[in-house]
Each structure stands twice: as C-alpha cells, then as structure tokens.
Chain A
Amino acid sequence: MNTATPSLGVVMLCHTALDRAAQVARFWLKAGCAVALHIDSAVPQAQVTALQAELGAHPLLRMAPRLRCDWGSWNIVAASQSGAELLLREFDSIGHVLLCSGSCLPLRPAADLVTHLNANEGTDFIESVAVDHADWITGGLSRERFTLYFPFSWRKQRWLFDRAVDLQRRFHISREIPRPLEPHMGSQWWCLSRATLDAILTHPKRKRFERYFKGCWIPDESYFQTLVRLHGRRIESHSLTLVKFDRNGRPNLFYDDHLQLLRRSDCYLARKIWPQADKLYQFFLTDQARKMPPVPPEPAKIDRYFELAERQRTEGRAGLYMQSRFPPDDSGQAVTAGPYSVFSGFDQLFRNFDYWLGQVTGNRAHGHLYAPERANFHGGAEVWHGAISNSAALRDYNPRMFLTNLIWATRGERQCFSITARDHVPPDLMWFMAKDSNAQISLVSGCFLLPLFRGEYKPDDVLAHVAWLQKREQHMLSVLQSRWVRADVRVWTLAEFLNAPESNLQSVAAKIAPDASIASQGLPNMQSLDGLEDFLRALRNKGLPPVLLRDFEGRTGVR
C-alpha cells in the first residue's frame, strides 16, 4: 500500500499503558494505515510528550484533541467523532475507519484487514442489535437506556443512580426518541465506511441527535450503532474486535497463556490485553505469526473457555467444600460430589456382606465407616483416598466433612458403606444424607439386635443398651421417612425383607451397578435366626418395655 494514500484509518482511544499503545500505533503506521491517537486528558502531559517523542513525526500520524473520557461518558463518542473527522479530512484515500482502544491488539497482519476491507467496500462492520432483542446486556437496563434521564454516574454514585431510575419508573417519565431513530446497541468497537461516517458526521440533525444521546446511558454503545441504521447500505452486524465480558460487564483480560486461544479467533483485533503480556505483543505485532502454520478459526472454543470460567464462578464444582467455596445445604446444588450407597442392617443379617456387595457390583465396599472404634475402610486400610484417616476422633471432629471429603476424593468410584444404630452418626449427618439426592439408603429395621442376640458383645446393662439402640434406630427411621427426604430410600422391617430377600437385594444392587446380577454370585450367607424369639422373650421378661419389642414379635416367626 502506498503510504501517501492509506485506505484504512485507525482511531485509537488511549488512557493507560501508553507504551503499548505506541507499539500498536507503530504497527498500523508501518502497514501504511493512518492513525489518529486520542489520549485521555487525565494522562499527565509528561507522559504524552514522551509518547510523541517515541513515535516521532510520521506523515500518517495525527493527534486528536484531548478529552476526558470517563467510563460510559459522552466524551468517548465525541473523541471517536473528532478522530474520525480528522482522518477523513486529511486523507482522501481512506475507505474505512477502525475504532479501537489503546489496549486492543491486532490478531492478524494489517494487510489482511486492509484486503478484507477493500474487498468489502462500503460495508460497515459494527455490531448493531435492535434494543428490544439485545439479550446480552449486563446491568439491567435495555430500552430504558434510551428513555430515562441519567444525572448520576453508575460507577461512582450507584445508589443515587438506582434511586433516580426507580423514581422515573414510578412516575412513568420517558424521553422522546427523536425520529427517525430506532435504538440499536452493540460493541463500542467498530469499523465504518467513509460514506456512512460522512453521512453521520454531516447529517443536518447531528446537533439534535447529539443532544439526545448525551442524555442516554453509555452512549458509546449506542450512538454509532443506532445512526448506522439510518445511513448504512450494507451492515455486517459483527464487530471485528473480540471482546469477552465477565458477569460484571467488564472485559476479560488476555494474558500470555491465551496465545493459542487468540490464534483461533476469527476477529481481527482483541481487547483487552494485559499491558505486561509481552509474549502476546511480541507475537502478534511482529511477523512471527506468519511463520507459524495457520490454525483454522474456532471462535466457539474461545466462547467455551470463558463460559467455563463463568460457570466455575457461579455454580462451582458440586460437592466441593474448600477455602473459597462453602455453600449452605439449601444452595440448590448437590451437596456431595457423586452417588453413594448406605446400608443398615444388611451386614448384621448376612455374613461378609461388604465382600459380597463388592463382588456383585464391582465396587470396593467399606464396612462401618462411622463405627465407634474407627472408620472401617475397605480391606482394613488405615488411610483412604485423599489421606483420609481411619481415626475415630478425627472423623467425629467433623463427621459431615468426613463424608463429603470421601465422596469428593473418590470421584468416579461409588462409595458403599454400612451404618447401624450404635455407630457415631449424629442426627445432622443423618439429615444431611437423607436430604442428599446422591444418597441411596437401604435399611432393614431391627437388625441392630442381631449382634446382641448372637452374643458378639455383651453390654453391662443389656436393657438400657437395647433401649438406647432402639431409640437411635427410631430416629434414623423418622428421618428417612420424613417428607424432606431426597435420597433414594428403601426401608424394610426384618420380616418384610425376609419375605423376598433375593429380589430385594437385586433391586438394591441394580441401582449401584445396573447390570449387576446376583444370580452369578448367589445370595450372601445369611446368619441363623434360630432362637431369636426366645431371646426377645427373655429380654421382655427381664423388664424391657414390651412396646419396644412390639415390632419384632411378628418378624421372628418367619423362621
């Protein structure tokens, strides 16, 4: 391209990191594009002088009159207007004007952009969305941006800003939108054709429109976007500049490690670049990019990258409790990281139940994780995944996090374990599991008596012990049968279970491993219940209130 007849003019709005802005300006100048630099009037004169000295006098470089450009203020539009006017006036050959900021970085060689624009003469590249359909707006206001008054700053006087909006809504205050404007909005970074810009800047009603837009909220996202609809002949409603906003409406920064990501963009520029991202500036502003084999554009990949980050911030990883994520139970998300199965009574009824369960489902089933003595991990391990200790004291210090840690640390492997009435399962943990949709809880009531019946241990005061166990099981049952339950709960009495042990076990196992077949393993070895009736009678005759044993009376008659 001939330096005397640039076909592209670039208006750069700069307010920080002037050295980077200078670097980018040189990039455009070297490629034969005209550049109008606008430097915020808040920048100290010394820095501006240094910048000018660095750039030197260049036939294609112009300095636009300096204004103070606060966020969302009219002056941003005014600076763009004056920069564009300056370029159009001084260089007759310019066909397009590109608006970018000092922290925008070109992603492709300037010649590519110039070629693209030359091939699309008269086309305006500007994101311009009818305001009634713009669903990407963050900050709440859409059409009201154009119909309310905004005397207060949103950034600095948020409270007054909100009250002013409320007040106007209540009194149905509405400004008139000058005809024939149709409010449109979009990214503030555009590339417009000479014809369209001329038409906008020389329109007879320009003063009237300006007065109107000065009262709108964030006019830099709507002034050109609305007016282009009046004059543009061909509009490509897609910005040439890649900007990814976070949920607070601030542009995400790009760093050195985004290099490969940015190479996949289909845009010509990206914003915002972290000023110290040396590698990015080095790569995209030299001819380094051309030396590497080109990669096919995959803008969806970039979108996905930032969507994932957003989701991690808003939803996080379910079941994780850590220093920067600590949701309450009612946050609406799963409270554990994955499905798990809790059994009660089975191992008292069947010999080596955990071994059998492991064989049938292909899992490593634990014993009683909340046993008073220790956490009985699979195979008697002293520590389990994540270095979780089997110490009862450590477990009982925070029983709930013992569970959530275990489920988190073993993601991908379903945990199965047993509990019983004498275990250290506090009421809040019982509630926690019952309300957890990841939990599968299967309970055969009354089995807590079986170890006593078999004489596996002998408490000093049998009666008190049985009463205590009974009470604890009743509590478990009341929790599991409450209307708050979200877990997958199955409760049988001993008699009910024994009516069809095979199909009951099958139904439980199928939920853990859908293709589990207990036919191949057979039933686990059931313990003998002979004499249970006599044992119960003896208990009653020793003075245990009959009401406690009522449930067992019918059940033992099965055998």
Chain B
Amino acid sequence: MGLKTQFKLRARRQAKLMRALRKSLELRARVNRTDRIRPDDILCFTTLRNEYLRLPYFLDYYRQQGVAHFLMVDNGSDDGTTDYLEAQRDVSLWTTRASYKASCFGVDWLNHLQWRYGAEHWCLVADVDEFLLYPYADTRPLHALTDWLDSQGRKSFSAMLLDMYPKGPIASQPYREGQNPFEIARWFDAANYSIKRNPLMNNLWIQGGVRQRLFMADAPEQAPALNKVPLVRWSRKYAYVSSSHMVLPRGLNRVYDESGGEQASGVLLHAKFLDTIMAKAGEELQRCEHYAESREYRAYDLTLREGQNLWCEQSTEYINWRQLEILGLMSKGDWA
C-alpha cells in the first residue's frame, strides 16, 4: 500500500463525513429519545419506507437480542410507519422526503446519525428485512458477542447477507404482521457464492445466492454484493462507503483470516422475498430510487409476477445457526 493510496482513502473518508454532515440538513427529528442511551448500549440504525407490516417483528427480534435503542430514518412513509415508530419508547425517529438515491441509498443519513450518537457504541446497521444471526445467538445475547469482540481487540464483525425465500410462488404465502418471516421464507442457497478480493478497500466482494442464480444469470457481475460489516464499534472517524458493505478506514473491512484460519462471523438473514416485495417492486420502479436504475426491482417485477418459484430442489431449509456454521456460511472462529 502506497502513501498515495492512504491519502486518497483518507480524503474519501473525510469527504464522506462532510457529505453526511451536509445531508443531515435533510433530516427532521420527529422524536429524539437519544438522551436515554446509556454508555454500553448497543444501537441499531435503519433507513426505511413503508414498512408498517414488518416493523413489529423486526423491533422485537433485536430487542430480544439486546439492542437498546433504534435510530431510524423514515424516508417518506405513508402507511402509518411514522406514527407507529413514534410510539415506540426505544426508537428515535427522523423523517425526510429527500431523495434516497441522492443520499447514497441512506448511507449519508445514517453516517451522520452514527457520527452524532454512535461513537464508542457497538452499532448495528440493518434494514427492516435483515436479521442478524451470530454464533450462539440462541443462548447468548448480542452483548456477549460485543464483549468478546472487545476482549479480542476487534472493532468490526462480518455478517454476510443470506437471501431467504419461500417454496412456491411468492404471492401464495402472504406475510402477516408480527409473524416470523422465516416461517415463510425458510429456504436458501447453501454453496453458490463467488468471492473476490477488493485490494483497494481490503474487503471481500461476495456475490451469489438466489438473486444471482435466477435474476442475474445473464450478467453475473452485476449481481448485488452480499458482503456486509453491519456491527462496528463506532468512532467519529468512521464512515460507511456503500451501504454496510464497506467501511473506512479500510482496516475495519479485514474481517477475514488469510492464513487459513477462520474469524468469527455471522449472517444477516434477508427476508426480502415475501409477498410484500410485489407491491414494493411496483412502487420502487415508479420512484427509481434504487441502486443502478432499480435494475434489481425490474428483474423481480418481471419474474415474480409470473409466479416464478425461487425454490429449487437443491435449496436448503433453514434450521438454526449451527446448521449455517456447518455449511460454512458463518463461523464460530475461536469464540468457544
């Protein structure tokens, strides 16, 4: 690594932070309860839009794991999401009608909130359809993990996005409010992931899973990235670059071992493929507010409308974290 690269990345990080500051002008605090945050609390940061149906389960899931406070940006919901969140005692809510795309898909807003409220805390960045699963999640709270990471001197934790899907046409199993989405979307692709190293940012670039298998088979290089570093012991110097896929300084992206051993890692179970995606795909196509001209949503709209089955006979049914660890999708590392 040359000095030049170091300076470039440093400039990029600072530009990202300045941008976050500028974009923070777009945020309006609807309810700010951040004075309730205690020093050791684990915080969750989320951008969302029209997620009323999914929120109850999302909040409960993370409350049970031990997240103490949710800092959320509501990007123009009109389905009651805003009022629902305002009533939650562990949620601080900001609203904005500004462009999601122009805010780097929410990254700028969240970077600002993390800069302002997240420093020295373990911060989790998760969308409403992303559910963190870490080793021993069934017996140990999230605090056990962050305490252990602290004792190891680690500041970031990797959790790959794992796309989950139902068996049969998506529309045939409607999601109910408060329901565990993985009762419906309980299948996944176990071993069709492509990994490349990104030498500039030090991260691994992971693609694959059902989205690449079905929607991007003709253009695999355009398949969405699945690598994520969603849990970071935040500092005011840090900035996410693109979603939670990459973070600067790039040392935080070094969440993998290169000598043959395994670092501890988790999985973000992705409950994207529920019947709710049909309405979402239609709406997002109108708004064109998503990555690369909403290419993804166009593909979903086309294929899912025809009742295509995401499931194949080699799909794996989800059981628990130990199963994912045996399959090699996540690892206990040396956390015993």
Contacts and interface: CB of A to CB of B under 8 A. Distances in A.
Contacts of A322: 160, 193, 195, 262, 265, 328-331
Contacts of A385: 190-191, 314
A252 interface: yes
A391 B214 CA distance: 10
Nearest to A261: B336
- Best-buried of A326, A331, A388 by chain B (most CB within 10 Å): A326
Interface string A266-288: 00000000101000000000000
B29 interface: no
B210 A398 contact: no
Contacts of B336: 244, 252, 305-306, 309
B325 to A, nearest CB: 10
A317 interface: yes
Contact of B192 (A316, A324, A389): A389
B257 interface: yes
B258 A328 contact: yes
A443 interface: no
B264 interface: yes
Contacts of B330: 322-324
Contacts of A305: 336
A334 B36 CA distance: 52
A401 B218 contact: no
Interface string B304-336: 000000001111100000000000111111111
Given A248-B152, A309-B336, A324 B191 contact: no
Nearest to A410: B191
A333 interface: yes
B143 to A, nearest CB: 7
B192 A386 contact: yes
Contacts of A257: 136, 139-140
A409 interface: yes
Contact of A387 (B143, B144, B312, B331): B312
B260 A255 contact: no
A405 B217 contact: no
Given A387-B314, A394-B217, A256 B139 contact: yes
Contacts of A312: 261-262, 331-334
Contacts of B227: 323
Contacts of B151: 250, 253
A325 B260 contact: yes
A247 interface: yes
A391 B217 contact: yes
A389 B193 contact: no
Nearest to B255: A324
A405 B258 contact: no
B32 interface: no
A387 B210 contact: yes
Contact of B136 (A255, A315, A408): A255
A315 B334 CA distance: 11
Contacts of A331: 258-260
Contacts, number: 176
B314 A386 contact: yes
Contacts of A391: 213, 217
Q: Is the interface of B mostly helix, strand, loop or mixed?
A: loop
Contacts of A244: 336
Interface in B239-266: 255-265
The size bracket of the interface on B is: 35 or more
Contacts of A328: 258
Given A313-B262, A324-B331, A387 B190 contact: yes
B158 interface: yes
Given A248-B152, A274-B147, A393-B217, A401 B194 contact: yes
A49 interface: no
B262 A316 contact: yes
Contacts of A314: 259-261, 334
B61 interface: no
Most buried by A among B143, B213, B312, B331: B331
A309 B333 CA distance: 7
Contact of B260 (A309, A332, A383, A406): A332
Contacts of A317: 262, 328
Contacts of B329: 322-323
A235 B212 CA distance: 65
Interface of A: 244, 246-248, 250, 252-253, 255-257, 274, 276, 305-306, 309-310, 312-318, 320-328, 331-333, 382-389, 391, 393-394, 397-398, 401, 405-406, 408-409
Given A313-B263, A387-B192, 15 more contacts: A244-B336, A312-B262, A316-B261, A317-B262, A325-B256, A325-B262, A328-B258, A331-B259, A383-B313, A385-B190, A385-B314, A386-B191, A389-B192, A394-B217, A409-B191
9 contacts: A312-B261, A312-B334, A317-B262, A322-B265, A323-B159, A323-B160, A324-B158, A394-B212, A409-B191
Interface of B: 136, 139-141, 143-144, 147-148, 151-152, 158-160, 189-197, 204, 206, 210, 212-213, 217-221, 227, 255-265, 312-316, 328-336
| Top 7 A-B residue pairs of the complex, sorted by shortest distance between their CB atoms | A386-B191, A313-B334, A324-B265, A387-B189, A409-B191, A309-B336, A397-B220
